[in-house]
Amino acid sequence: MWDYTDKVKDHFLNPRNAGAVDAPDLDATVGNITCGDALRLTVKLDEAGRIADAKFQTFGCASAIASSDALIELVKGKTVDEAEAITNDDIAEYLGGLPEAKLHCSVMGMEALQKAIAQHRHRPFDLEDAGEVICQCFGVTDTLIEKVVREHSLTTVDEVTHYTKAGGGCGACHAAIERIIANVREETQSGPEPGARRPKLTNIERMRRVEEVIEAEIRPVFQADGGDIELVDIVGSTVQVAFRGKCAWCRQRDFTADGTIGGKLRELVDETITVEDVSERLGDER
Amino acid sequence: MSDVIYMDNNATTRVADEVREAMAPYLAKAYGNPSSVHTFGGRIAHDVDRARQQVADLLGCDPTEVVFTSCGTESDNTAIRSALAVYPARRHVVTSRVEHPAVRNLALRLARGEGVLPRYRHTELPVNSDGTLDLPDVGNALDDDTAVCSIMWANNETGVVFPVERIGAMCRETGVLFHTDAVQAVGKIPMTLADLPIDMLSVSGHKLHAPKGIGALYVRRGCRFSPWLIGGHQEAERRGGTEAVAQIVALGAAAELAGRRIDEERTRVVALRDRLERELLARCPDARVNGTTASRLPNTTNISFEYIEGESILLMLDEYGICASSGSACTTGSLEPSHVLRAMGVPYTAAHGSVRFSLSVENTDADVDKVIEVLPPIIKRLRELSPFGREE
């Protein structure tokens, strides 16, 4: 059982602002049903540009619903500029705190607000639109991860997961999240760390390293989910792999090949590596 | 909380009054060690023997085939690790994708080579969308290199019952040890292990109205066995450690009670469960049952309510003192829905909104009335809050 404050329970059981406003001026949805939570925020502005009314519709757990309701309590009556300053901390604080693993619910509230404001200003919504999707399971971009790492001085992947859910699924993006954390820390600390340059590899060394990394780092992740991959060949810096088991018909396979496996190999072996999926060429087992 | 309606019996059960009374003396005056030479302790060995007989009667086996353990997880671990120890040259294990973590995570560790290098080959059999296994898959998975096949008797989340007799026969044919985690099946499904091709079987006390902290492992006579917990001579050297006498006596009493109530489980409890399920499906649109209803535990139903999230449902039920559980991400403590529903390919939209009701002989018609009165408005309320809904 989650340890929710009375305020969370109250806003979950008796939300004040559920629904959608009529003819909204701003209408923003973040999250989706697959990820387990989603929030639609509708806003009515008055002539002075103040938030006259706002409502939410939320799919999610008790803390997601309570965070949505708290967000609306916080933005009502504010100008868009004032509302822009609201952070996920304000939402969590309003509720008397959230369990650590539920902080992403407050971040979802902040995201919906930022998205609505971006709409108001006719600007792209950077947290979704800009940057690269790092966590494929929950569709989280590096822009959002960087933002929470910076604003909350996060140092571990677990913390990033608590705030954004990134890394909470298959785990294949953990290395990428670690890299973002390292980059942000490097930036915020004075001067770059004396990072050792990776020595150039011979072909033989590269092949051996690729094999080792696939065996030790990549296959266990796939196997844990009922699938597998096979290293088929290494042609220059192109690594050819074939998917087996569950992975053979997984719809996420496209980005898994160069994204997940390639990312890991580029990180641990050689930056020039690309990964090619040759499952079909070998004739799918199924 | 006084007025609790408890429908989470696959998670744990209430300790039955007569079970508590049976164990009480061993927490008071009868504190001796069954291994002692003096009468005060030594006579307690007879009480342990009686409990062993009671468990054997429920399982339909010989008492010498019953080993007391601390819990179902220990039984599962002991069985699988024993099979690996007695067949050290074999490097393959077979399980299903819907096993309890006690089996699944152990198998995944073996496959990763954690603590057991070189790593084991692991075949994790898929299940169909109705939660059932394809028997030919089992046969295809078994080979000369397979040390153990471990498939649960009944799934804890969906209640789906697996054809263990046929799986066991296939294992026997190929000379593979067969273990089944029967934690959810014992006491709900009559069984005569003497007649079944099952080598090892796990039992958990707290799923059948005994306290937590006691389990048992059935080891068929003649089955090669290697103990996991090494210590004294207890349990015929199959499990070291001073006997947890009170808990063992409790498990014996619970087994006897379960034997007496098993018919009621298969008549009255089934009727309660069926009425609950039927009424909820009739009163809540966009709801569906997860798992086949053709071969299922008498007490379990797992229902998905589309467009809403399970934790919210549970917490609103909690306001009425109704206890159930969910396979949604938020309630599993992870961010993904239960591995069982994912293995069945239940769409995430439905998996997030799944609720499991698991009844027991202690539930009444009034309990079912209350749930079918209270839940439909909760579902409606949460759907009003949700941005999703049926496409118009």
User: Of B257, B288, B316, which closes a domain?
Assistant: B257
What is the arithmetic mean of pLDDT over B18-34? Answer: 97
Residue B383 has pLDDT above 60, yes or no: yes
Same domain membership, residue B57 and residue B25: yes
Does residue B327 or residue B332 have the better pLDDT? B327
> For chain A, which residues make up each domain, given as ranges?
6-126, 131-188, 203-277
Residue-level pLDDT at A215: 80
Q: Do B168 and B199 share a domain, yes or no?
A: yes
Asked if B292 and B279 sit in the same domain, the reply is: yes
| Residue B105 to residue B101: CA distance in whole angstroms | 5
**Residue B189 DSSP label:** B
Higher-pLDDT residue of A5 and A231 is A5
B1 pLDDT exceeds 90?
no
Instruction: Quote the CA–CA distance of A127 and A146 in Å, as a whole number.
Output: 10
The pLDDT value recorded for residue A172 is: 86
State whether residue A40 sits within 8 Å of chain B by CB: yes
Domain membership flag for residue B324 = yes
**What CATH number has the domain bearing residue B356?**
3.90.1150.10
* Residues A267-273: contacts with CB under 8 Å, at least 24 apart: A267/A175, A267/A176, A267/A179, A268/A175, A268/A209, A268/A213, A268/A217, A269/A201, A269/A206, A269/A209, A269/A210, A269/A213, A270/A198, A270/A201, A270/A206, A270/A209, A270/A237, A271/A198, A272/A237, A273/A210, A273/A237, A273/A238, A273/A239
Residue A253 has pLDDT above 60, yes or no: no
Nearest of B319, B311, B310, B323 to residue B367 by alpha carbon? B323
Selection from B10, B3, B7, B14 nearest residue B272 by Cα: B7
d(CA B124, CA A225): 10
- Give yes or no: residues B235 and B363 share one domain: no
B116 and B187 share a domain? Answer: yes
Q: Is the pLDDT of residue A284 over 50?
A: no
In this structure, the answer to whether residues B221 and B307 fall within a common structural domain is no
Per-residue pLDDT at A280 exceeds 70 = no
pLDDT 10s digits, A52-96 = 999 999 999 899 999 999 999 999 999 999 999 999 999 999 999
Q: How many residues does chain A have?
A: 286
Q: Using CB atoms, which residue from B126, B309, B388 is nearest to A61?
A: B309
CB contact under 8 A, B352 and A12: no
* Distance between CA atoms of residues B350 and B329, nearest Å: 11
Residue at token pair 């549970």? B314
Whether B391 maps to a domain, the answer reads: no
Inside any domain, residue B186:
yes
pLDDT band at B59 (very low <50, low <70, confident <90, very high): very high
B278 within a domain of the structure (yes/no): yes
Q: Is the same domain home to B271 and B250?
A: no
Q: How far apart are CA B7 and CA B207, in angstroms?
A: 13
Q: Which pLDDT score, from 0 to 100, does residue A194 have? A: 46
Each residue's pLDDT tens digit, A230-245: 787 877 778 887 777 6
What pLDDT score was predicted for residue B119? 92
Task: Among B220, B240, B257, give the residue marking a domain's end.
Answer: B257
Instruction: Please tell me which of the candidates A58, A61, A138 has its beta carbon nearest to residue B311.
Output: A61
Instruction: Select the more confidently predicted residue: A234 or B225.
Output: B225
At A277 the pLDDT is: 79
Superfamily of domain A131-188: BFD-like [2Fe-2S]-binding domain (1.10.10.1100)
Q: Mind listing the pLDDT tens digit for each residue in B116-151?
A: 778 999 999 999 999 999 999 999 999 999 999 999
For residues A131 and B304, which has the higher predicted lDDT (pLDDT)? Answer: B304
Average pLDDT on B151-155 reads 98
Q: Is residue B223 within 8 Å of B200, Cβ to Cβ?
A: yes
Q: Residue A220 is nearest to which of B112, B334, B387, comparing CB atoms?
A: B112
Q: What digits encode the pLDDT tens for the residues B73-118?
A: 999 999 999 999 999 999 999 999 999 999 999 999 999 998 877 8
On whether both B281 and B228 belong to a single domain, the answer is no
Mutate to test the interface with A, among B104, B134, B306, B335 (most CBs of A within 10 A): B335
What strand order describes the sheet that includes A51-59? Answer: A26-32, A37-45, A51-59
The verdict on a CB contact (< 8 Å) between B334 and A226 is no
For residue A195, the model assigns a pLDDT of 45
Give the closest-approach CA distance of B82 to chain A in angstroms.
23
Q: How many domains does chain B have?
A: 2
- Residue A1: how many other CB atoms lie within 10 Å: 8
Write the single-letter amino acid at A110: M
**Which of A141 and B228 is assigned the larger pLDDT?**
B228
Domain residues for the domain of B375 are 5-11+261-385
Angstroms from A62 CA to nearest CA on chain B = 5
What is the rounded CA–CA span in Å between residue A164 and residue A158? 10
Give the pLDDT confidence of B272-282 residue by residue, as tens digits: 999 999 999 99
**CA–CA separation, B339 and B327 (whole Å):** 8
Three-state secondary structure of B143-184:
CCCEEEEECCCECCCCCEECCHHHHHHHHHHHCCEEEEECCC
Look up tokens 């989910």; give the residue. Answer: A225
For residues B76 and B193, membership in a common domain is answered with: yes
Residue that terminates a domain, selected from B232, B257, B282: B257
The CATH code of the domain that includes B95 is 3.40.640.10
Residue A7 binned pLDDT confidence (cut-offs 50, 70, 90): very high
Specify whether B143 is located in the same domain as B193: yes
Assigned domain for B390 exists: no
Is the CB of B122 less than 8 angstroms away from the CB of A223? yes
Strand order across the beta sheet in which B215-219 lies: B66-69, B215-219, B200-204, B177-181, B146-150, B92-96, B121-125
Q: Which residues pair with B6 in a beta bridge?
A: B323
- The answer as to CATH 3.90.1010.10 being correct for domain A6-126 is yes
B376 is a domain residue: yes
Which pLDDT value is given to residue A193?
Answer: 47
**Tokens, residue B135:** 């028997």
Phi and psi at B183, nearest 5°, equal -55, -40
Q: What tokens appear for B193 in the block?
A: 């292990």
For the purposes of burial, counting CB atoms within 10 Å of the CB of B101, is it exposed (0-12), middle (13-18) or buried (19 or more)? exposed
- Per the listing, tokens 């933002």 go with A147
User: Residue B34's pLDDT band (boundaries 50, 70, 90)?
Assistant: very high
Phi then psi for B179, rounded to 5 degrees? -115, 140
Predicted confidence band at A229 (pLDDT cuts at 50, 70, 90)? confident
Chain A residues 171-230 within an 8 A CB cutoff of chain B: 220, 223-224, 226
What's the confidence (pLDDT) of residue A285?
A: 37
Q: Cβ of B311 and A2 within 8 Å?
A: yes
Mean pLDDT of B57-61: 98
Band the pLDDT of A249: cuts 50, 70, 90. Answer: low
Mean pLDDT of B5-24: 97
Convert the pLDDT of each residue in B311-328 to its tens digit: 999 999 999 999 999 987
- Least confident range from A159-173, B86-100, B286-300: namely A159-173
How far is the C-alpha of A183 from the C-alpha of A205, rounded, in Å?
28
Same domain, B46 and B188: yes
Considering the domain architecture, whether residues B23 and B123 belong to the same structural domain is answered as: yes
Does B179 map to a domain? yes
Task: Tell whether B332 is covered by a domain.
Answer: yes
Helix H segments across chain B?
17-23, 39-42, 44-59, 72-86, 101-112, 135-141, 164-174, 234-237, 245-264, 270-283, 310-318, 329-332, 339-343, 348-351, 365-385
Of A111, A164, A156, A107, residue with least CA distance to A134 = A164
Mean pLDDT of chain B: 95
**What is the β-pairing status of strands B146-150 and B177-181?**
parallel
Annotation says B330 is catalytic: yes
Q: Is B388 an interface residue toward A (CB < 8 Å)? A: yes
At residue B365, does pLDDT exceed 50? yes
User: Considering the domain A203-277 in this protein, what is its CATH number?
Assistant: 3.30.300.130
Average pLDDT in the B328-343 region? 78
Q: How many residues does chain B have?
A: 392
Residue B197 host element (H or E):
none
Residue-level pLDDT at A286: 34
